[in-house]
Amino acid sequence: FEPGDHGSTFGGNPLGAAIAQAALGVILDEELPERALDLGTWFMSELEKIASPHVLEVRGKGLMIGIEIKPEAGPARPFCEALMQKGILAKETHEQVIRLAPPLVVDRADLEWALPRIRDVLLGESA
C-alpha cells in the first residue's frame, strides 16, 4: 500500500462526472429548488392549520419540514409509525420531531394526498 494508491485529487471518473453533470442539469432546468421553496411554503401553511393538541410547532425550509410534538404527547416515533401505516415515510429526530423530507420531484397532488393522512395521525384518528 503506497501513498497515492487509494485516492487522489484527480480520482474522479468520467462516468461519475457525467452523471453528476446530468443530475445538476435536471435540478436547474426543472427549477427544483424553486419548486421546493414554493411547495414547502404552501405545505407548511397547510400543516399549521391542523389544530392538533399534540403539535408544538411546524417549521422547515423548502420541503424539509419538522413537526415538533409536545413532550406530554410522548415521542415522535409512534406518530411516524402511524404515518407509515398510511403510506407516508417520515423519520423521528431529536425524540420529539417528525421529519418530512419528500423528494424534490414531489408534486402538489402528492402533498394533497398526504395532508389528510397526516391530519388523521396528528389528531389521533384512525384510517
More confident residue, 23 or 14: 23
Average pLDDT rounded to a whole number, residues 80-97: 97
Query: What is the per-residue pLDDT across 98-127, written as a single tens digit (0 to 9) for each?
Result: 999 999 999 999 999 999 999 999 999 754
Query: What is the per-residue pLDDT across 17-55, written as a single tens digit (0 to 9) for each?
Result: 899 999 999 999 999 999 999 999 999 999 999 999 999
What's the pTM?
A: 0.83
* Rounded Cα–Cα distance for residues 63 and 111 (Å): 10
Instruction: Give the rounded distance of the alpha carbon of 1 from its chain centre.
Output: 42
Q: How does DSSP assign 21-81, residue by residue?
A: HHHHHHHHHTTHHHHHHHHHHHHHHHHHT---TTEEEEEEETTEEEEEEPGGG--SHHHHH
Please, which pLDDT band fits residue 2 given cuts at 50, 70 and 90? confident
Domains in the chain: boundaries: 14-123
Instruction: Give the rounded distance of the alpha carbon of 48 from its chain centre.
Output: 16
At 81, the amino acid letter reads E
Pick the CATH number of 14-123 from 2.160.10.10, 1.20.1090.10, 3.50.50.60, 3.90.1150.10: 3.90.1150.10
Please, which pLDDT band fits residue 11 given cuts at 50, 70 and 90? low
Chain mean pLDDT for the chain: 92
Query: What is the per-residue pLDDT for 127?
Result: 40
